[in-house]
Structure 1
Amino acid sequence: MKLVNDIPARMIYNGRRWRVTDTPTRLRESVWSVPLEHHHGLYGWRFQATDPAGESIVFDVYRAEDDWHVHRAYA
């Protein structure tokens, strides 16, 4: 995922390029459905992104030790 000023701007998901097309919302630990003892300090973002064909999806993404991961995608 590419951040601009520490805010998501674009990413690759499922082999497609996505551009963030709304104002991302910061997500904190309390919203994740994962065991927090394994993910202390987990944070992420929720945002709508649009691909070049015009399809838009809302994504919940989180930062793990190695990279960003899509937790959930809402079509």
Structure 2
Amino acid sequence: MFQLLLSAYSTITIQDTALFLGMNEDDATNYVLQQGWVVDPASQMLTVKKQTIVTEQKLDATKLQRLIEYVFHLEH
């Protein structure tokens, strides 16, 4: 559920976060603070810290071949 919140929100209330995580507000706040989120006590809002996603792109020979054929077709 935490991963869904992470991908769906940039800011969310403490109350909604606690509801989604099935925790009380203090536990939910402490948990997300440990994950790097920021709390604004005045508005009771949490700012979500997005995690960087590292993806490794693998070269697929068939895709490369199709690209070569496409470019060749365009040139001739």
In which range does the TM-score fall when normalised by the shorter chain? Answer: under 0.3
TM-score by length of 1: 0.27
The structure where strand makes up a greater share of residues is: 1
**Which of the pair has more CA radius of gyration?**
2
